[in-house]
Structure 1
Amino acid sequence: MSCQDTPPLQAAQRKPPLAAELQGDPFKETAADGFVLGGFTWRHALPDIQRPVVIINAATSVRCRHYSRFADYLFANGFDVITYDYRGIGESRLGSIKSLNASWTDWGALDFEAMLRRAQRELPGQPIDVVGHSFGGCAAGLGESGQIIRRLVTVGAQFAYWRDYAPEQRWRMFGKWHLLMPLLTLFCGYFPGKRLGWLEDTPAGVVRDWSTPTARYERRPSGKAMLARTGQLPFANVRAQTLAISISDDPYGTIAAIERLLSYFSHAPKTHLRIAPQDIGEQQVGHFAFFRSAYQATLWPIALNWLQTGKLAPDTPGREVPRS
């Protein structure tokens, strides 16, 4: 397999946007270290300090366009919405990523933090909510300004500790993500996920964080560096009403994995909702399908109601996982 670093597509080469993206206005935002990030804003014409703005944090190496229909749904239900790509991904990919110094902690402490500050600047006075998918839920705890988050919804959110993977798929996933992915990254200088059809191409620092087999985020390479630099991880800054949604057939988002991440949000009131596909009349959902428009009538209202009220509706499918 060639390791040639595929450059990002120029605007003229890109596929036409999804219909749901037509309401999203593109923007550029500069992070604290000077890196220029790209994303989209769904914004109502008239300002309203009562209207919340939702920042959507993507999963690892998933483009923000994956969440466009969900963003449009939130917009149609009265929210302003910001989607964005982490550095090195999608709208935030600036040429080759072989030499890009980017980690999971950079994606949270720099990129997500930049979005929190953008929301405060561009939509002053409005409540700020966050939806985080997979690593995006972890990123929500890495921003210095986490105390301004009003409500947080995470979906399948964890930081890939291999022993937490679903037992029946654990060794296959370990081989894929903790052996093959870092080996290809060592060979290529980045992970060529796009060629494999697994993920977007991914910076080496992110791969090191993902593949390090430790149960503690502060022992991942970039977490360790952040702890040494600041003396603490900023998860405790988040005091948002937090709903963690997990799907029973998600091999990443097992109860152990979700609870492991939730334990870092020590000052946030937390609810963990566990949903089986059968609870919504489906055979399977998995890790990525929540944000597909097929689930607009069954899964999306759960997140919407939490963002609107901070509560679960009485008829919410699934069960609450008891808090220890």
Structure 2
Amino acid sequence: MTQTVTIDGPAPLTGTFFAADAPRAVAVLNGATGVPHRFYRHFAAWLAETQNVSCLIYDYRDFATSARGHVKKVTATMLDWGLHDTQAARDWVSARAEGLPIWVMGHSLGGLLLARHKRTNEIARVITVCSGPVHTTDHPWPYQAMVRALWFGVGPISVATFGYVPARLSGLGTDIPGPVFKQWKRWCTTHGFFAADASVPAAPEAALTCPIRMVSLSDDQSVPPNAVARLADLYPGSPTQHVVLNPNDFGLTKVGHTDAFRRQNAALWPALIA
């Protein structure tokens, strides 16, 4: 069964819940920056229909189906998306879990700030995909040149001109709100990522203790495996497992940062949750 839902939190969020007939767990999937929740619908349906794991997918505040006005008026930050909205979505799942194990899945941004959640003892397992505290210097060339152009040229000029980064310039195919872009840039161009950002609350020591499966793709130039490996530093209280998947091993030629969740790459899906 598929259901459109509204998640109450600091800001209203719109999502879709895929309910398994006989669930063994319930999951929330936190998406990547600038990726609408409908992109994950085939994966969420697969979880519910073949793995007996109910799954919530949703859009961050003021983005895609959660948008409430023009993007140039959005005041949401990267922290709002990556912490406050992921907390609200997990709260929604927790209230309906009925004693089932709760999985938290995070794609890119969606896996970075979970140690700062409340009631982390409710989480049975975490699965992250292409998520890590990446720095500009982690990107291989010539891809790094494109990223530098976004951070130091196209992005700031767009925000100053339009108030946001238009879809045709963001490289993501979606509009990125100005405050989100500014904080995103600051994190990714600072060694230590968000450690120097005073707006990011400190995480309680060893706040998260459940197992974390960190999945990276060998051909991901946006958050390469070496950056994914550093994600373990953000979760010192959890046993972590870093798995690097090579698309060729699954009969695929190219996957990269985003496309692990595309239906044509479904051969990867059992390895994501193994």
TM surpasses 0.5: yes
Contact conserved, 1:218 with 1:233, CA < 8 A, in 2?
A: no
Contact conserved, 1:156 with 1:253, CA < 8 A, in 2?
A: yes
Provide the C-alpha distance between the structure 2 equivalents of 1:135 and 1:67, rounded to a whole number of angstroms. 15
The aligned counterpart of 2:3 is 25
The aligned counterpart of 1:245 is 215
Provide the C-alpha distance between the structure 1 equivalents of 2:248 and 2:94, rounded to a whole number of angstroms. 40
2:119 pairs with 145, 150, 159, which one?
A: 145
Deviation at 1:197, TM superposition (A): 6.3
Deviation at 1:80, TM superposition (A): 0.9
Provide the C-alpha distance between the structure 2 equivalents of 1:302 and 1:145, rounded to a whole number of angstroms. 28
The aligned counterpart of 2:262 is 292
Deviations 1:153-185 (A, max 9, x none): 111112442111124421222112443123211
Pair 289,218 (structure 1): closer, same or farther in 2 beyond 3 Å: closer
Instruction: Tell me whether 90-99 or 140-149 shows the greater mean CA deviation.
Output: 140-149
In the alignment, does 2:81 pair up with 1:103? no
Contact conserved, 2:155 with 2:170, CA < 8 A, in 1?
A: no
Pair 242,111 (structure 1): closer, same or farther in 2 beyond 3 Å: same
3-state SS of paired residue (2:103): strand
Contact conserved, 2:255 with 2:265, CA < 8 A, in 1?
A: no
The aligned counterpart of 1:210 is 184
Instruction: Tell me whether 195-204 or 87-96 shows the greater mean CA deviation.
Output: 195-204
Matching residue's letter, 2:268: L
Any residues of structure 2 matched to 1:244-323 within 5 Å, and which? 244-296=214-266, 298-305=267-274
Provide the C-alpha distance between the structure 2 equivalents of 1:160 and 1:182, rounded to a whole number of angstroms. 20
The aligned counterpart of 2:38 is 65
Pair 185,242 (structure 1): closer, same or farther in 2 beyond 3 Å: same
Provide the C-alpha distance between the structure 2 equivalents of 1:234 and 1:28, rounded to a whole number of angstroms. 30
In the alignment, does 2:102 pair up with 1:128? yes
Deviation at 1:130, TM superposition (A): 1.4
1:90 pairs with 64, 87, 101, which one?
A: 64
Matching residue's letter, 1:39: G
Pair 282,270 (structure 1): closer, same or farther in 2 beyond 3 Å: same
Q: Given the two structures, how large is their TM-score scaled by the length of structure 1?
A: 0.77
Provide the C-alpha distance between the structure 1 equivalents of 2:93 and 2:54, rounded to a whole number of angstroms. 10
Matching residue's letter, 1:85: D
Deviation at 1:196, TM superposition (A): 6.1
Identity %: 27
Matching residue's letter, 2:149: G
Deviations 1:72-118 (A, max 9, x none): 00001201110011112112111123232211211132111111111
Contact conserved, 2:221 with 2:257, CA < 8 A, in 1?
A: yes
CA RMSD across the alignment: 2.1
Deviation at 1:59, TM superposition (A): 0.5
Q: Given the two structures, how large is their TM-score scaled by the length of structure 2?
A: 0.90
1:155 pairs with 129, 135, 151, which one?
A: 129
Of structures 1 and 2, the larger Rg is shown by 1
Contact conserved, 1:70 with 1:291, CA < 8 A, in 2?
A: yes
3-state SS of paired residue (2:252): coil
Contact conserved, 2:18 with 2:55, CA < 8 A, in 1?
A: yes
In the alignment, does 2:87 pair up with 1:113? yes
Instruction: Tell me whether 201-210 or 76-85 shows the greater mean CA deviation.
Output: 201-210
Deviation at 1:147, TM superposition (A): 3.2
Segments of 5+ residues of structure 2 without an aligned counterpart are none
Contact conserved, 2:129 with 2:272, CA < 8 A, in 1?
A: no
The aligned counterpart of 1:188 is 162
Deviation at 1:251, TM superposition (A): 0.3
Pair 242,302 (structure 1): closer, same or farther in 2 beyond 3 Å: same
Matching residue's letter, 2:2: G
